[in-house]
């Protein structure tokens, strides 16, 4: 009888496992209930806490808006760079111009959200949001149709972007420095996060091939090992390398000797090797840091800004000899408003 009782009595590890399972089940049930309440609009919110949070956010935004305006030299530098990039878009399609305009659209939209935040200014906010949306649609059309358009047609397609550039050029001298820095830092973090996620979303065989390529393996041998046509292998390796280049250029101290990779040999640069070593720990940390700063900045202003869609494939990537330019699919996603 005693032997039977000893056999049926649960062990300590079984008891602990049952307690953990019960806690996990309760946590899942509680989270599901909260999600359901949020979706149905029945979630109870502490009004005092919400009011205090909104007050702190409004005070922080006011402090940004009360900082002095940028200097005349800074304004001239920014304005010259803006129009140089725009004028370059009339002649050639480059990744640099595409990313710059995405950055500008994102930054201008964030600026509008923070400046026109009172109920009486909502019509102004909607006007600026419309300018940003039209500019992004123009950027997408320019990217997809560049080679089929004549110079005059490109000017027509780029008209909404030119409108945005003019609005930004007029606004820059009056924008407070700290507010501009907030918008720039937020937009930069979004870009880093998007590019980092694009990198890790590659299939595992592409990432393994890129890791071996960066460490110096033979290109043809690596392509055969992972069952890739050499043309596809080359395009994927350059895509990964250029994503790392864009992320590195967004850092506080970019390496001036690290140029945009255009060949497989340039994919073996020491910066790339440091990024992908130890299962890309450094790259993953950069992605986490970007997400951390985005959450902090959104918490400080209580504003969920727009995070523009990412390029599906690189703007600099040219069509292969088997792919006609008229059949290129869109590589730009529509903007996602959060």
Tens-place pLDDT, residues 165-184: 999 888 888 888 888 888 88
The kind and range of the H/E element at 310 are none
pLDDT higher than 50, residue 333: no
Residue 332 DSSP SS3 = strand
Q: Where are the alpha helices (DSSP H) in the chain?
A: 2-8, 12-40, 47-65, 72-89, 95-115, 122-145, 151-157, 159-171, 177-200, 204-214, 219-225, 230-249, 270-301
What percent of the chain has pLDDT above 90?
A: 20
Q: What does 189-242 look like in DSSP terms, one character per residue?
A: HHHHHHHHHHHHTS-HHHHHHHHHHHTT--HHHHHHHTT--HHHHHHHHHHHHH
Of 42-56, 136-150, 284-298, which one has max mean pLDDT? 136-150
Are 108 and 67 spatial neighbours (Cβ–Cβ below 8 Å)?
no
pLDDT in tens, 133-151: 999 999 999 988 888 988 8
Supply the mean pLDDT for the chain.
Answer: 79
**Cβ within 8 Å of residue 219, ≥6 positions away:** 213, 230, 233, 234, 237, 264
Picking from 101, 271, 116, the residue whose alpha carbon sits closest to that of residue 187 is 101
pLDDT confidence of residue 308: 42
pLDDT in tens, 69-97: 888 888 888 889 889 989 988 888 887 78
Q: What does 270-294 look like in DSSP terms, one character per residue?
A: HHHHHHHHHHHHHHHHHHHHHHHHH
Quote the tokens at residue 299.
């918490």
* Rounded-to-integer distance, Cα 167 and Cα 147, Å: 28
Quote the tokens at residue 107.
């930054």
What residue segments make up the domains of the chain, in order of their start?
A: 69-175, 177-304
pLDDT confidence of residue 307: 47
Orientation of helix 47-65 relative to helix 95-115, angle to 10°:
120
For residue 175, how many other CB atoms are within 10 A of its CB?
A: 20
Orientation of helix 95-115 relative to helix 122-145, angle to 10°:
170
Picking from 118, 120, 83, the residue whose alpha carbon sits closest to that of residue 100 is 83
pLDDT confidence of residue 295: 81
Q: What are phi and psi of 210, to 5 degrees?
A: -65, -40
Compare 251 and 196 and report the one with higher pLDDT: 196
Are 67 and 179 spatial neighbours (Cβ–Cβ below 8 Å)?
yes
pLDDT in tens, 3-40: 545 557 888 888 888 888 888 888 777 777 766 666 66
pLDDT in tens, 311-325: 333 333 433 333 333
The band of 160, judged by pLDDT with boundaries at 50, 70 and 90, is very high
What percent of the chain has pLDDT above 70?
A: 82
Are 92 and 152 spatial neighbours (Cβ–Cβ below 8 Å)?
no
């Amino acid at each position: 009888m005693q032997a039977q009782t000893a056999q049926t009595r649960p062990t300590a590890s079984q008891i602990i496992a049952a307690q953990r399972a019960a806690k996990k089940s309760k946590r899942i049930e509680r989270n599901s209930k909260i999600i359901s309440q949020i979706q149905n609009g029945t979630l109870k919110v502490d009004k005092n806490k919400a009011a205090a949070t909104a007050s702190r956010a409004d005070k922080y935004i006011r402090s940004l808006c009360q900082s002095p305006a940028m200097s005349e030299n800074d304004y001239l530098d920014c304005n010259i760079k803006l129009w140089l990039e725009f004028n370059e878009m009339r002649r050639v399609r480059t990744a640099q111009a595409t990313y710059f305009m995405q950055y500008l659209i994102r930054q201008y939209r964030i600026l509008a959200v923070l400046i026109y935040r009172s109920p009486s200014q909502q019509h102004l906010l909607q006007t600026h949001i419309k300018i940003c949306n039209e500019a992004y649609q123009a950027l997408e059309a320019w990217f997809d149709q560049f080679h089929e358009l004549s110079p005059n047609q490109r000017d027509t397609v780029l008209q909404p972007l030119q409108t945005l550039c003019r609005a930004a050029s007029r606004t820059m001298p009056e924008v407070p420095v700290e507010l501009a820095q907030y918008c720039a830092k937020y937009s930069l973090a979004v870009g880093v996060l998007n590019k980092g996620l694009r990198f890790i979303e590659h299939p595992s065989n592409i990432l393994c091939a890129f890791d071996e390529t960066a460490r110096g393996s033979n290109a043809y041998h690596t392509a055969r090992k992972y069952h890739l046509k050499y043309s596809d292998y080359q395009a994927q390796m350059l895509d990964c390398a250029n994503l790392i280049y864009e992320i590195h250029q967004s850092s506080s101290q970019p390496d001036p000797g690290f140029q945009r990779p255009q060949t497989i040999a340039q994919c073996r640069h020491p910066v790339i090797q440091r990024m992908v070593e130890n299962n890309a720990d450094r790259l993953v940390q950069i992605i986490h840091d970007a997400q951390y700063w985005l959450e902090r900045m959104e918490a400080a202003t209580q504003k969920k800004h727009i995070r523009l869609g990412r390029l599906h494939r690189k703007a600099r990537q040219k069509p292969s000899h088997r792919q006609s330019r008229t059949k290129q699919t869109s590589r730009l996603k529509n903007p996602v408003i959060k």
